[in-house]
A and B are shown apart, each in its own frame.
Chain A
Amino acid sequence: MKNNQTHLEQIAAYLSGHLSVAERDALDRWVKASKENEQLFNEAKTIWNHSNLKVALPTDETEADWLMLKERIDKEDGEFRMLSWFNSSGMLKIAASIILLIGIAYIFIWPGSDHIRLQAENETEAFYLPDSTHVWLNAHSILEYDDTYGAADRTVRLQGEGYFKVKHNATSPFIVNTKSTQTKVLGTSFTLREDSLATMLIVVDGIVSFAAQKDVTKKITVKAKEKATFKDNRLQKQSNDNARFSHWIKKDNPVHESEVLNPLSHLETSYTWKKNAFNQSVIAGVVKSTATVATYQNVTLQISYVKANGKLKTVHVHIPGTIASGGEIHYRKKLHDILSSTRSITVKVESAEVHATATNK
């Protein structure tokens, strides 16, 4: 029996065209060597030749099959896809505001399906993944994963912005896929945000690898206090000086509230001062915002300077324009102190207003 099998293996290889010339010759010699060999060969050949009965389905039901598949896909993707099939605007933001859902977090687990989706509506929401990794999703963000999470790796898909405190697991890397990038870690904290312009990663602690989806082999390593962006098809890394970037994770966003109520605590200015040829004080400076969400406008600076006679003079300077969260605005001001030899100058932000539309996120 075993012997036959070896020969049948050779015969099969011959019949399917896998033997080299030398091997074919060897088989030929073996066949001619005895009647039994020849019979075995002929039987195998007959079987092979008459194994051609290929079956197919009697009718083409592709149209119906397509409807069936579409239904399954819609179920998997939830209400978002239902809109997309029928209208041209597939923007998540629009779909989310149209669909009548109470503004709380919800979890989609379809029966029989292995796909889980976490979604934050109008507020920041916090979740735990099966391995106790802590995730905060900013408003209008979605995180998806399936039941292979935690096996060989921990893969999730992110739309929008998320803050991750990844549980350490050296054997199962945590991978976040966004539409255009892939971020990989073993255990660390970081925030990741993707919008239509760019993807931005900021690492709190630990080490994270960051790559474009187009070529995940070209990764850059991002460490604590560093930030990486993927924009206009380029991966870039720089140090992160905005320490408050992740404050939206506070569930009810008291930080955001404080940004609105207390602009002054989020604005600071630094400047240089010198006298020009006309003995005027020229102050050149920048106002920086450390807010994470709010945008400010109508910033007023208070400039106090001490004249030669020791008297204090204060002027107010209005700075036009808006300062986005984490942004800055430069200014340059000349004082009317030509006739005085000013001894010292202090500049501070006196007041600012919140830019209306920026607070609705």
Chain B
Amino acid sequence: MQKADHTEFETLFKKHNKALCDLAYNLIRDKDAAKDVVQDVFLRLWKNRETLNFEDQIKHYLFKATSHTALNHLRSSKKVIKLEEDLLKNVVTPPQTTELGYQELETKIRNAIDKLPPKCKTIYLLSRHEGLRYQEIADTLNLSLKTVENQMGIALEKLREELRSFVTLDCLILVILISLGVFSAILKYS
């Protein structure tokens, strides 16, 4: 019985570790901390394995627990996140456009996202990157739906403020036009 527990647990860990570490890393931007978060989640799961019963929902539980723990970590750590120079190496979704100027925009926005307050940032990323519904975010982080709606607005507001100092209005308009695909044909062939 014990052996079965261990083997199952090992399999479970190996199956989900990378994805969960990536999730935590995306939220926390600190490799060691991200790994600690995931280890904590699995350790807690191990301790409580006899009182918890998930079957197929284990993935869901792990995702929630990792998000929640990552948020707690963000709240308690005072670190200022700096974007690494080789950030783009670690990027999962490539920038919308490949022109340098626009990579810069995405990078700047990512920088700005990392400056958001912990709760705000986590909510925004869970929505934008993980595609979670507001209610799902509320359940995952133990918040009210109202808070999630509210924080999403705050996120956009803060990002807008932050980006004002980097990007001029003209540039933004240009980017808007580009992203609306007006010059996409030209870009394809350049």
Contacts and interface: CB of A to CB of B under 8 A. Distances in A.
Contact of B93 (A54, A58, A88): A54
A58 B46 CA distance: 27
Interface stretch (B54-62, B67-75, B148-156): B148-156
Contact of B176 (A10, A11, A42, A177): A42
Contacts of B106: 50-53
Which of A53, A69, A85 has the most chain B CB atoms closer than 10 A to its own CB?
A: A53
Interface residues of B, number: 61
Interface residues of A, number: 50
A169 interface: no
Interface in B14-29: 14, 17-18, 21-22, 25-26, 29
B190 interface: no
Interface in A53-94: 53-58, 60-63, 65-66, 68-70, 72-73, 76, 84-85, 88, 90
A47 B152 CA distance: 12
B152 A16 contact: yes
A72 B43 contact: yes
B92 A62 contact: no
A55 B90 contact: yes
A168 to B, nearest CB: 25
Given A8-B157, A12-B152, A58-B89, A52 B95 contact: yes
A51 B176 contact: no
A115 B47 contact: yes
B133 to A, nearest CB: 7
A305 to B, nearest CB: 56
A56 B26 contact: yes
A6 B109 CA distance: 21
Nearest to A18: B134
Contacts of A61: 35
B87 A69 contact: no
Interface string A209-236: 0000100000000000000000000000
Given A49-B179, A57-B25, 14 more contacts: A12-B149, A12-B155, A16-B152, A18-B133, A50-B105, A50-B106, A51-B113, A56-B25, A56-B92, A58-B89, A65-B13, A72-B43, A84-B3, A179-B50
Interface of A: 1, 4-13, 16, 18, 42-58, 60-63, 65-66, 68-70, 72-73, 76, 84-85, 88, 90, 115, 177, 179, 213
